[in-house]
Every structure is written in C-alpha cells, then in structure tokens.
Amino acid sequence: MIPLSVAELIKVVRGEPHDIPEPPPRITGPVVIDSRQAEPGSLFAALPGERVDGHDFAERAVAAGAAVVLAARPVGVPAVVVDDVVAALSELARHTVRTLAPTVVALTGSAGKTSTKDLIAQLLREAGPTVWTPGSYNNEIGLPLTALRIEESTRYLVLEMGARGIGHIRDLTRLTPPRIGAVLNVGTAHIGEFGGKEAIARAKGELVEALPPAAAGGVAVLNADDPLVRAMASRTEARVVYFGEAKDAAVRAEDVRLSDAGTPAFRLCTPTGCADVTMRLYGEHHVSNALAAAAVAHEVGMSADAIAQTLATAGPLSPWRMEVTERPDGVTIVNDAYNANPDSMRAALRALAAMGGAAKDRGGRTWAVLGPMAELGDDALAEHDAVGRLAVRLNVSKLVSVGGQEAAWLDMGAKNEGSWGEESVHVSDARAAVELLRGELRPGDVVLVKASRAAGLERVALDLAADGRGAGADGDGEVAAR
C-alpha cells in the first residue's frame, strides 16, 4: 500500500471527509476488511455483507489503530464516505498499481487457477519481490485487496481472475491491467451459470483481449492442448506463447511420468533450453499447471534450469488443495476439499489412483470421500453419475458419497458401473463420514476428500488428519470467490 494522506485518499476515491481530526491521520498500513486485522495506520473498508455490516465494526477498527474508515455513511469515527465502498476499493487499487507499476501477471481457467497461481508466485519471487492472490481472492473484492498489498519494491503482481458470467474478467482487467495473461483451460466449472463451454470460453478469453499489443510488451500464455484456449490467439494483439504437450508448444513437457507415490516428473523444454523436473505435488494434472507457470517465468527471463529447480521444491501455498498428511499410523489423508468441478474431480481421482499403487503394496486401500459439485445446472445428474463411474474404472477401493441428492447420484453412478455393494456408501453429512471412516481405516490407506466449497468437507479431512482428535474447521474466512 502506498502511504496516503486523507486528502490524497479523498481525491482518489472521490469521497467526503467525516470526523477527521486535526492534524489528519496518515494511512501507512494495509487495507483491511476485518476489524480484527486492523493495525496502526491501516485503512478499514466497511463492506456491507449478507450477515454482518462492516460499518458496525468501524469503532472497533479505529480503536485497534486504523487511521481512517472507508465507508458508505458516517460512522462516528474518522472516515471518508463514498457512494460505493467496493467501487472505491477498486479506484484505490487502480491508482496504486498505476503509481507503482509492477509487472501484472493475470491468469484464469476453469480448473487449476489457484494451484497455478501458487506455482507462478513461487517462480517469480525468485526473480524479484512478488505479491500474489492469497487463496482464491479472485473477485471484485479480493482482487483489489491483493493489489493494495504491493509496495514500492514490488516487481511482480500475480492475480488470479475468476468469473461468474460474461464481462466479469473484463471488469477485473480494467481494475489491474495485466501485461502477461495466461488461460489454463476451458472446462465445465460453473457451466450451469454460463450455459455451455463456448460461453465459458468467451468469458475466459476476455483476459487476452485486455492485454496490450505485442509491441507494448503484451504476452498471452495459452494452453496448446485445449482447442478452445488455443483459438483465443485470434482474440488478442499480444504475442502468443503456447504451453502444453503439443509439438508446437514453445514451453512443453516431454516424457511425462508419475512416481509410485503419484508425483509427476517430466522434461521441461523452453525456447532457451531443457531441464528435468520432478515435482512434490500430487497428480498428473499439475504438469499442465507447471507448464503455464514455466511459460510465465520464461517470459520474465528465468532459465529452464532455474525454473526446474524451483518447480522441484514448490508446494501448495493455499490450503486444502491436494494437501497431503501422513498420519503416524500409516494412513494418508489428501485434503482437496476447497472446491470441485467435474474436471478437477476427475484429476483428483486420477491422482488418487496413481497414489493407490504404493498404497496397495503396503496392504492399503484408496478411499474417495466425495461431495456435491455446485453450479452444474441441467448437467448435474450426468456429471455426478460420471464421476461415480470413473471411481470404479480407476479401481478406487471405496467411495463414500457425502450429502444430499447430488451425492446420491455419485453413489448411483458407482453402483451402476461396477455393481458395487459395500464398496460404495452414501452418508448424510460430514460427521457421518468421519464416524464411518474412523471405524474402517487401516495402515496404508489413502483417503481423498473433495467437494465444492459449500459442502464443507474440509471438516472430514481435518478431523481424519488429526487422527480424530477434534480438528473441526470453521472455514478460512476467504472472500466468496471462484
């Protein structure tokens, strides 16, 4: 955050001062939306919410040290009042990015955004001070909050951009114009909201349309293995760099393989050289994520050897994304419960199947504890049924479907595919799943837990990872982002 006087803040957000003392305080700390995070010199943005109103916590934020409150009405403490607090945050973020001018890297896609963003962040911080989206802060609130974390020393700003409809990504790119934009894939996430993959592609492609022309340094990083993403090359004036396993990809993977534990290895080739990569992350789907990150790193000048070395040590920076815990009794818990869609569900099941080879050698079994996938519209029954069937085809030992109707469809798909009896079980909620598994797990078992965020299945993974000793979760407090 750039240090600001109250007068400068008023000018940027076009606000009105209320209850400002003399001399006016100076904003020197971070921008926060939770009064518990307020600290001396911070700016507290009083956001209205469905359950709580930030204005009710303005006094508490100032008592904790906040210099000023950004509010939609007077709150009895030093405040700058605006018509729309979210819009004012956007204006402040735009001003900050324009003033400090870091290289902005933005990415989007139907699956893998957060994992890829974490990989890009770990690569770019090797090249210079880097700020990146925490967790999945990828919407109209989370993105400006991320941008407002940059400082004068920040060289790279890495932003994940989500969309709930046409025009959303276009609006985010106007807030923080990117120079490098990466599109990972076009899948079925939120297909019920968009109405089809073509509409999803139209929305995701707004990112490359927003890039500056090649002559001004714009770079579009596109997945050569996804036809809908490859076609976006015609929608941008930026220079196009393809990544993938296709022969014409400038940044590509060769000799892709999985270890017995399910971690990928491959030969990374870039225009300036090749290097071998062995990753710590689980699942072959991380190869594509790593290639997208490598393409971005190559564009800022990193060598193939430097990229490979960083990818070899990179881990998840965001919680509940293929987060692996080895229990003392030999049970492995894979917490991938942050979110789910048909593409990421299939990728996680394939990762579980790959990990199952080593598990079965130890006398263990693979368990898929799966919950509903949200926002699939008319495709919900078919997609849940297909995931249940895939679990059988991948020889997953046990399926536990958790929740209501959608979970019942998962169970139905498995039983119809494999005539499963006790191998597939449908339970009502997370508590029932934990009780079932506590009585069944044995050393060597590997348990995958995955569902859409609203299902709250992280409670299952956290309880089991703690060996059943009260590891409940209340959520991570992230802005509602996709």
Residue 279 corresponds to which tokens in the numbers above? 């990753």
Rounded to whole angstroms, the Cα distance separating 409 from 415 reads: 10
Residues 341 and 459 in one domain: yes
CA nearest neighbour of 214 among 236, 181, 194: 236
Does the pLDDT at position 260 exceed 70? Answer: yes
On the question of pLDDT at 43 being above 90, the answer is yes
DSSP assignment of 294-342 equals: HHHHHHTT--HHHHHHHHHH----STTSSEEEE-TTS-EEEE--S---H
Q: Helices 380-393 and 405-418, interaxial angle, to 10°?
A: 40
Sheet bearing 156-160, strands edge to edge: 130-132, 156-160, 103-108, 180-183, 219-223, 239-244, 251-258, 264-270, 273-278
CATH of the domain at 410: 3.90.190.20
Domain stops at, among 53, 84, 115 = 84
Q: What is the pLDDT of residues 118-168, one digit of tens each?
A: 999 999 999 999 999 887 788 899 999 999 999 999 999 999 998 878 899
Domain co-membership, 428 together with 361:
yes
State which H helix or E strand residue 242 sits in. strand 239-244
Domain count of the chain?
3
Domain with 227 in it: what CATH number?
A: 3.40.1190.10
Reported as a single tens digit per residue, the pLDDT across 216-235 is 999 999 999 999 999 999 99
**Of the ranges 18-22, 199-203, 341-345, 456-460, the best mean pLDDT one:** 18-22
The one-letter amino acid code at 413 reads G
Q: Which two tokens stand for residue 319?
A: 């919680």
Under DSSP, the state recorded for 439 is: T
> To 5 degrees, how large is the angle CA 320–CA 323–CA 325?
125
Q: Which one of 55, 84, 113 terminates a domain? A: 84
Alpha carbons within 13 A on the beta-carbon side of 150 = 32
Residues 130 and 163 in one domain: yes
Confidence (pLDDT) at 164: 78
Would residue 480 count as lying in a domain?
no
Three-class DSSP category at 53: strand
Lookup result for tokens 């890039």 = 211
This prediction has a pTM of 0.83
* Among 114, 98, 89, 99, CA closest to 176: 98
Distance CA 135, CA 125 (A): 17
Residue 279 and residue 331 share a domain: no
Helix (H, G, I), strand (E, B) or coil at 481: coil
Is residue 480 over pLDDT 80? no
The reply to whether 476 falls in a domain is no
Task: Copy the structure tokens of residue 368.
Answer: 């898929």
- 235, 367: one domain: no
Sequence-ordered strand ranges (E) for 357-454: 366-370, 398-402, 424-427, 446-450
143-159 burial, b for 16+ CB within 10 Å, e for fewer? Answer: bbbbbbbbeeebbbbbb
Q: Quick check: is 367 in a domain?
A: yes
Instruction: Please determine, for residue 40, whether its predicted confidence score (pLDDT) is greater than 60.
Output: yes
- The C-alpha atoms of residue 277 and residue 293 are separated, in whole angstroms, by 13
CA–CA separation, 110 and 347 (whole Å) = 13
Q: What is the CATH number of the domain that holds 27?
A: 3.40.1390.10
- Over residues 52-76, the pLDDT tens digits come to 899 999 999 999 999 999 999 999 9
Q: What is the pLDDT of residues 369-384, one digit of tens each?
A: 999 998 888 889 999 9
Show the tokens assigned to 400. 């536990």
Of the pLDDT bands very low, low, confident and very high (cuts 50, 70, 90), residue 470 is: very low
189 φψ region: left (φ > 0), alpha (ψ -120 to 50), beta (else): beta
Residue 19 belongs to what domain range?
4-84
Of 54, 126, 246, nearest to 45 by C-alpha is 54
